Amino acid sequence: MPSYTVTVATGSQWFAGTDDYIYVTLVGTEGCSERTLLDKPLYNDFERGAVDSYDVTVVENLGEMELVKIEKNKYWVQDDWYCKYITVKTPYGDYIEYPCFRWLVDDKEVVLRDGRARLPKDDKTRLEKQHRRKELESRRKTYRWSEWQPGFPMSIDANTHKELPRDIQFDSEKGVDFVLNYSKAKHYIQTSYNKYVMQHWKEDFMFGYQYLNGCNPVMIQKCTKLPEKFPVTHDMVEDCLEREMTLEEEIKAGNIYLADYELMEDISPNSTDPCTLQYLAAPICLLYNNSQSKILPLAIQLGQTPGKDNPIFLPSDGQYDWMLAKIWVRSSDFHIHQTVTHLLRTHLVSEVFGVAMFRQLPAIHPAYKVHQLHVSLCLSFVPANGTGGGGHVEMIQKAMRSLTFRSLCFPDAIKARGVDSPEDLPYYYYRDDGNRVWDATKSFVWDVVCIYYDSNDTVQKDEEIQAFVKDVCSFGMQDLDCCEFPKSLKTREDLTEYLTVIIFTASAHHAAVNFGQVRFRARVSQIDICTVLFWWFNCRSAK
């Protein structure tokens, strides 16, 4: 009788192994095997990190392999099991791999297809089409949309971490690893670079440098005309200009830049402690690209409306007046960085893409395979001070008005701020490195797209990718006109750009605006990330 060799790989994370009963059923085009218990005498099967092989004997040849069904039945107590993958060696020597990478909890069964990526049009048999449909039906029941706050991007319907689907929860060892890495980070801030930052943070050149390559390198923009609300004159800044040009001439020459924190206007400060009043500023900062290509602050106004009670601070002012003005700017920059640049434009946006992906793309879809590893449904977090107690909600609601699809396209965002020229603004590594990563990612995605989509017509007829894009726009972004997210994709180029945005947002852009905090803000902020994470989920629990 024909014999198939079934190899089962158990995950290496904590508690991945199981003592429960594991059964397998092989399904082919010509028939299926009996439900077979995978068990070796006098052997502890399915231990953490184990790769176990078993022989499954059938009466007749099953034909071409289509599916593998795995069942887990309770032995004594609930004992979850994480299955990485299953391989099947046929009697003819073929090896077929069935990726799983999911938890089997309680008495549960999982039906797997082989790891080859396929579009809906590639499924020919009734069984293949049925499996594809049932997988998405099940996912849509598990991954449901929910609105945490009006005007926010939609999120997954879960109030606490434990309510998240098991497969996207943090594993136990990740939580421990998180705490250990945080402890290492506190030690890391003693490096020479961080000591240098601590020694020079008061100086104008360090203040300006952070606009290019600090934690929030997305605020600086070319100033083509001074806004009326910021009445800086040549006489005010003449002593700081180095090229024997007037301020107007410097602007025309492209040497003047602006950082406007208008978003902070009228945001409610933290009022959780009635005995301690807190304040927020909505500053405007004028910046100068000097003859040594250093970005230096020229003038600072701490409010959006000019007047006697809202003076313009200058480098020529008293040492502590000027330093305090810069501190207020940096405080506002911190709030926008954490709440908008980091939370909204990486975590919350990635969550929209992630939920839509699970709802509309089966595991064998090539687009799912391309960006599954990059979309993280990890815990989002917000600042625990300053804009807490409601202010962070107001900020995100206001920031949503400028969150467009094109603003997530890195080259477009850089160009929109007028900072795309290395000749005009050198040493902007966020821009230069970001463009390289964007181009490399887009090139890779294009190659993958061209493998599966031979024409634009194939893109248009892929109902799953079209449903995914529509779900992102109509549900995830609540069909807001200001966001301008596409509701459909027409060409292979459109699909390539869309997938590149997803990957870049959740990987490169998040890295750029997240990891620099250790260098620039660990000493200043002293934010306990663990506390922040729990605070964020407590907020979601109280919705």
- 143 has pLDDT over 70: yes
pLDDT value for 523: 40
342 in a known ligand binding site: yes
More confident residue, 179 or 314: 314
pLDDT value for 389: 52
pLDDT value for 188: 57
Containing H/E element for 84? strand 81-89
pLDDT value for 107: 79
| Whether the Cβ atoms of residue 70 and residue 33 lie closer than 8 Å to each other | no
pLDDT value for 118: 96
Instruction: Read off the pLDDT band of 542 (50, 70, 90).
Output: very low
pLDDT value for 161: 83
Torsion of CA 196, 200, 201, 204, to 10 degrees: -140
User: Taking the CA of residue 28 as centre, how many other CA atoms within 13 Å lie in the half-sphere pointing to its CB?
Assistant: 17
Q: Please give the share of the chain, as a percent, with pLDDT higher than 70.
A: 90
- 532 has pLDDT over 50: no
Q: What is the C-alpha to C-alpha distance for residues 472 and 70, in angstroms, rounded to an integer?
A: 32
Instruction: Read off the pLDDT band of 186 (50, 70, 90).
Output: low
- 319 has pLDDT over 70: yes
- 369 has pLDDT over 80: yes
State both tokens at 235: 């006489």
- 529 has pLDDT over 70: no
354-370: buried (b, 16+ CB within 10 Å) or exposed (e) per residue? Answer: bbbbbbbbbbbbbbbbb
Residue range 52-84, pLDDT digits in tens: 999 999 998 899 999 999 999 999 888 999 999
- 483 has pLDDT over 90: no
Q: What is the C-alpha to C-alpha distance for residues 370 and 467, in angstroms, rounded to an integer?
A: 17
Give the contacts of 214 (CB within 8 A, at least 6 positions apart).
516, 520
- 385 has pLDDT over 60: no
Rg of the Cα trace of the chain? 28
80 in a known ligand binding site: yes
pLDDT value for 180: 75
Sign for the CA dihedral angle at 99, 137, 26, 47 comes to positive
Residue with structure tokens 């595991």?
363
For residue 316, give the 3-state DSSP assignment: coil
For residue 244, give the 3-state DSSP assignment: coil
> Quick one: average pLDDT of 494-510?
95
Give the contacts of 196 (CB within 8 A, at least 6 positions apart).
none
Instruction: Tell me the residue type at 23.
Output: Y
Helix pair 429-452, 492-504: axis angle to 10 deg? 130
Burial group, residue 517, by CB count within 10 angstroms (0-12, 13-18, 19+): buried
pTM tops 0.85, yes or no: yes
Instruction: Read off the pLDDT band of 450 (50, 70, 90).
Output: very high
- 392 has pLDDT over 80: yes
More confident residue, 278 or 417: 417
Residue range 4-43, pLDDT digits in tens: 999 999 999 999 999 999 999 999 999 999 999 999 998 9
More confident residue, 438 or 190: 438
Identify any residues that bridge with 23 across adjacent strands, giving them in sequence order.
Answer: 37, 71
For the ranges 167-181, 335-349, 357-371, 516-530, the lowest mean pLDDT is seen at: 516-530
> Quick one: average pLDDT of 457-480?
95
> Quick one: average pLDDT of 103-121?
92
pLDDT value for 463: 98
Residue range 266-303, pLDDT digits in tens: 999 988 788 888 899 999 999 999 999 999 999 999 99
Average pLDDT, the chain: 89
- 500 has pLDDT over 70: yes
Candidates 180, 234, 227, 161; CA nearest to 536 is 161
494 in a known ligand binding site: no
- 376 has pLDDT over 50: no
Q: Please give the share of the chain, as a percent, with pLDDT higher than 90.
A: 75
More confident residue, 536 or 427: 427
For the ranges 123-132, 178-187, 237-246, the lowest mean pLDDT is seen at: 178-187
pLDDT value for 367: 95
Candidates 8, 360, 371, 15; CA nearest to 169 is 15
> Quick one: average pLDDT of 384-399?
74
- 173 has pLDDT over 80: no
Cβ atoms < 10 Å from Cβ of 318: 9
| Whether the Cβ atoms of residue 409 and residue 467 lie closer than 8 Å to each other | no
More confident residue, 215 or 372: 215
17 in a known ligand binding site: yes
| Whether the Cβ atoms of residue 480 and residue 486 lie closer than 8 Å to each other | no
More confident residue, 478 or 375: 478
Give backbone dihedrals phi and psi of 95, rounded to 5 degrees, phi first.
-110, 130
Residue range 206-222, pLDDT digits in tens: 999 999 999 999 999 99
pLDDT value for 430: 96
Q: Which domains does the chain have, with CATH numbers?
A: 3-116 (2.60.60.20)
510 in a known ligand binding site: yes
pLDDT value for 384: 36
8-state DSSP, 472: I
pLDDT value for 168: 86
Candidates 528, 516, 529; CA nearest to 380 is 529
- 525 has pLDDT over 80: no
pLDDT value for 379: 39
Instruction: Read off the pLDDT band of 505 (50, 70, 90).
Output: very high
For residue 96, give the 3-state DSSP assignment: strand
pLDDT value for 187: 62
Instruction: Read off the pLDDT band of 48 (50, 70, 90).
Output: very high
